[in-house]
Amino acid sequence: MADTERHPFLQGLSKHRGAPPTVVVIFGASGDLTARKLIPAIYNLSFDNLLPADFHLVGYGRKPIPDEEFRGIAAAAVKEFSRREMDPEVWKRVAANTTYVSGGYDEKAGFDRLAAHIKDIEKGVGSEVQSLFYISTPPSVFFPIIQNLGASGLGGRYLGKPHHSKVIIEKPFGKDLDSAKALNAELRSVFQENQVYRIDHYLGKETVQDLLVQRFANSIFEPIWNRNYIDSVQITVAEDQGVGTRAGYYEQSGCLRDMIQNHTTQLLALTAMEPPGSFEAEALRDEKVKLLKAIEPVALGPDPDMARAQYAAGMIGGKKVPGYLEEKGIAPNSSTETYAALRLSINNWRWQGVPFYLRSGKRLPRRVSEIAIQFKRPPGTIFPQKEGFNLAANTLSFQIQPDEGLSLILNAKVPGLDTRTQPVKMSFRYATTFGSNTPEAYERLVLDAMIGDGTLFIRGDEAETSWALYTPVLNFWQSQGRKGVESYSAGAWGPEGGDQLLTSRGHVWRQP
């Protein structure tokens, strides 16, 4: 049975958006992200007939791997991580044009071999081919890869034509404002801005994109999407996992860099930005930058706008787990935060006086990402605040993951002869309306990069504006060492300081 027969809401959706003949080169081809996300994304794009007829996948890495072995590694990744079971015919199409080139990231000779390999692909295709370079490596080799893409001529292929070369660069995009500026400068020395795709996979999630549709395609929301009707906004990005095997990375990062500066702030920007003049990439990104520039500096004290903490030993899913300082590879005197919360104020006409609360952390009770818009209570009510009259603030929440959808809390009368009220929830879920096999974020983003649509990617000035907001907080925390680092039990929703950010303004955190 066709998808549109099972789910009539899918009728009329486009199956192809015109990607030109393309070779995708993945730097870091043996890495975890490549196996878990990138190769399954390419497989599923092929499954949906969204790859161009002339599509080639090239892995690049330091370790010499024969083509056949790399194809086997890729097939194993599809079998383990794809949202669909492997279809032998679909995989055969992908595998037929999957190859591997070995070389160092800091040696031009390897990039010259890659350039010759791409030329050979073009000879076989019989036409010019777009090159999309995906940098899926540790940040330590971002610079040499960019430099060698320039030195080998790969970065400037077909400049000025629609199928010019492009580069996708994974997070973290810098570690503070100065490093983000330096990385942008290096990129601009090789690529033009319209060739660069700074990826944040949260922007590829269905519910994040639906946020734009809900805001700008439904007239019931726009008149009340402002300080006159909205009391506060909460954005939560929670993980139930600990640091795991990422201790080396996480000690250099921490929650503010790892989750707040990118994912959580992107959700804030889309929630609060002004309507763009059109659904064009630059129009939308202009509005996000204007919104980020309107956020007031984070107060560091005496009434701080932020809190930080580390998880201590506790219970997750009925199992005892160690605290952060007890994890393998973590220094016993570490001040790296595993939880961060902020109270932000936006200095513009729409949002003046509305607090935006952001929090993210590890070892919280469950994995969930949510945007909650809490509306103001009616100025007066005919329903007394007493037993039998349970009234809640109207709240519109967008569930980003894992159960994608949205819900609205309303107050309703309880059936019966007495007049009693209680909150009720109206919910929409993607799984029940459109089917559960929702495309992964990386599928959308890889396809968008191939066709040259930068709408869901981060522009250079946007990255710098975000870092400008958070770098003073990072510098302050570094100067304080462990002073001010709170503790919370694994399985709790965070420390007292995170709660105090809200209670001091008459609010409390939602439990999503």
Just list the catalytic residues: 263
What tokens were used for 323? 């605290």
In whole angstroms, give the CA distance from residue 341 to residue 235: 10
Helices (H) and strands (E) in the chain, counts: 17, 17
CA distances in angstroms from 207 to 12, 49, 96, 146, listed in the order given: 20, 23, 34, 33
- Cβ atoms 326, 336 nearer than 8 A: no
In whole angstroms, give the CA distance from residue 212 to residue 214: 6
- Cβ atoms 506, 353 nearer than 8 A: no
CA 292 to mean position of chain CA atoms: 17
In whole angstroms, give the CA distance from residue 311 to residue 250: 14
**Residue 458 DSSP class:** B
The burial class, CB within 10 Å (0-12 / 13-18 / 19+), for 155 is buried
Angle between the 265-272 and 206-216 helix axes, to the nearest 10 degrees? 20
What tokens were used for 493? 């929703």
Which of 86, 87, 17, 83 is CA-nearest to residue 52? Answer: 17
In whole angstroms, give the CA distance from residue 463 to residue 455: 14
In whole angstroms, give the CA distance from residue 202 to residue 404: 12
Name 374's bridge partners. Answer: 232, 395
Length of the chain in terms of residues written: 512
User: For 188-210, b where at least 16 C-beta lie within 10 A, e where not — what string?
Assistant: eebbeeebbbbbbbbbbbbbbbb
**Start-end of H helices in 8-85:** 32-33, 39-47, 67-81
Amino acid present at 446: V
- Cβ atoms 460, 450 nearer than 8 A: no
Which backbone phi and psi does 494 adopt, to 5 degrees?
125, 180
- Cβ atoms 460, 187 nearer than 8 A: yes
Q: What is the DSSP string of 373-386?
A: EEEPPPSS-SS-SS
Q: What is the DSSP string of 269-332?
A: HHHHSPPPSSS-HHHHHHHHHHHHHTBPPPP-SSS-SEEEEEEESEEETTEEE--GGGSTT--T
Q: Are strands 306-312 and 485-489 parallel, antiparallel or unpaired?
A: parallel
